[in-house]
Structure 1
Amino acid sequence: MSQTNLYPDLKKKLEVLNKLEVPSYRKEVLNPLINFIQKEKDSGNQIQLNFICTHNSRRSQLGQVWAKAISAHNGIDTDCFSGGTEETAFFKNAIDALRRAGFRINSEAGENPHSEVFYSEEQKPVVCYSKVYDAPENPSENFAAVMTCSHADENCPFIPGSKARIALDYNDPKEFDDTPLAEKKYNERSDQIGSEMIYVFENIK
C-alpha cells in the first residue's frame, strides 16, 4: 500500500502531534500493539484492529479513526474497527474533536447515527457508529482486541476470535461533558490517541 495523502489541515495536525513526547511508561503499554502489527505484517496477514470500550462512544471511536488515518498515511494497510460492551452512540463531543483535528465528517441524525469520517481524497471514509464489539460488521477472528478503557477490559476477560488482547486504557473525557473544560479535554484525549498511533505506526518496519 502506498502512502496516503491526508487533508492539509489534518497533515498539519499530525506534524504538531508528532512533536508530543510519548512518555516511556506509555511506550511500554503500546509495545504489544506494535509487536502484533509487525508480526501480522511480516506474516503477510491482514492487520485487523478492533478498538473496544464500554459504550463505543468516545475513546474506541477515536482509536479506530486515528489508527486508520495514520496507518494509511504511513502506507500500512489496516482494517480498523470499534465496538463496545453495549451500544449507545458516537458522542458529539468526540466527533467535534476529530473535526477540529482536520477530519471532515458527515453525520446523520438519529439516536445512533452513522458518521462518515474522511481523512483523504484518496480513501473511503471510516464509517463510525456505536455497536457491540462482536457485531456482524466487526471481525470474528484474527484480530487484536485493543481495550481502550479499564471498565471494558475488566468486564470482558475473554474476546472470542481475538489473536491478541491489548490494554491501552485512556482516561474518559466524558466526566467533562457539559462543563467549560469539555472542548479542551476532548482535544487532549484525541491528541493523545493520535500521537500514540503515530508512535505505533512509525515503529512498524
Structure 2
Amino acid sequence: MYQKLLNTVQSLKWEKTDTDRKDVLEPLISFIQQKVDDRKEVNLNFICTHNSRRSHLAQIWAQTAASFFAIPEVHCYSGGTETTALFPKIAATLTDQGFTVFSVSDTTNPVYAVKYDDNSLPIIGFSKKYDSLFNPVSGFAAIMTCSQADGECPFIPGAEKRIPITFEDPKISDNTPDQTAVYAERSLQIAEEIFYVFSKIKK
C-alpha cells in the first residue's frame, strides 16, 4: 500500500464506530463472512442514484479494505439508477488521501483507474447503471449508499441480498468554500465504516 494511503488508513478509528452504525453494518458483515466461510467469491455492488460520488467511494474503500485485511476473492463494483459521470472532486479527494488516480479515457463519462499500491489491479471507476454488463448479474450484495436509490429500487435483479447503508451526499458542499473539507470527511467516514466491516471478518 502506498505510504500516504497507509497513513490515512492508520488515522481511521474504525474500532470506535457508533453502535447505531454497527447495527446498520452488521448485515454486510454477515454476508461477507458467510461467503468467506463457504469459500466463495464475495461480490459487492455499491449503488447510488448517479454513481458519481458515494458509491464510488464505497467501492474503492471496500476493495482497499479487503486487501488490507487479506480477505480473498473480494470483488467490488458500483452502479447507479442512472448514468452520469464520476464527479472530479471524488478523484481529487482520493488522490489527496493517498491513492494513485489516473484517467483512462477523457469523455463526458470519463473512465478512471484507481490504485492503492503499485502492484494491485486498478479499480476501474466510471458512471454506469447498477445492471451494467460491467457488474455481476447474480450472487452479489446490493449495498444502497443513498436513500434516494434505496427508495427507488426496492428490488435489484440478481442480488442475493439488499443492504441499505446510506451516507449524506457531499454534493451539498459543491460551489462552497467547504467543498474540499466535506468531501474529505465523507470519504473518511465511508472508509472507517468499511474498514470496520472488514476488520470483523474471520478467515
TM-score (norm 1): 0.95
Give the 5 Å matches for 1:1-205: 6-18=1-13, 21-77=16-72, 78-107=74-103, 108-205=105-202
The DSSP-based 3-state class of the residue aligned with 2:16 is: coil
Output the CA distance in 1 between the equivalents of 2:196 and 2:46: 17
Say whether the 8 Å CA contact 2:29–2:198 is kept in structure 1. yes
How far, CA to CA, are the matches of 1:201 and 1:110 in structure 2?
34
- Amino acid paired to 1:96: A
Q: Secondary structure of 2:83's partner?
A: coil
Structure 2: which amino acid aligns with 1:57? S
Contact 2:61 2:190 in 1 (8 A): yes
Which runs of 4 or more aligned residues in structure 1 lie more than 2 Å from their structure 2 counterparts after TM superposition? 18-21
Aligned sequence identity (%): 45
> Does the aligned pair in 2 maintain the 1:18–1:198 contact within 8 Å?
no
Gaps of 5+ in 1: 1-5
Secondary structure of the corresponding residue to residue 8 of structure 2: helix
Deviation at 1:122, TM superposition (A): 2.3
Which residue identity is paired with 2:97? A
Distance in 2 between the 1:136 and 1:103 partners?
A: 26
Q: Name the CA distance, whole Å, in 2 between partners of 1:42 and 1:163.
A: 16
Structure 1 residue 96: deviation in Å? Answer: 1.1
Gap runs ≥5 in structure 2? none
* Structure 1 position 175, deviation (Å): 1.2
Question: Which whole-Å CA distance do the structure 2 matches of 1:120 and 1:164 have between them?
Answer: 31
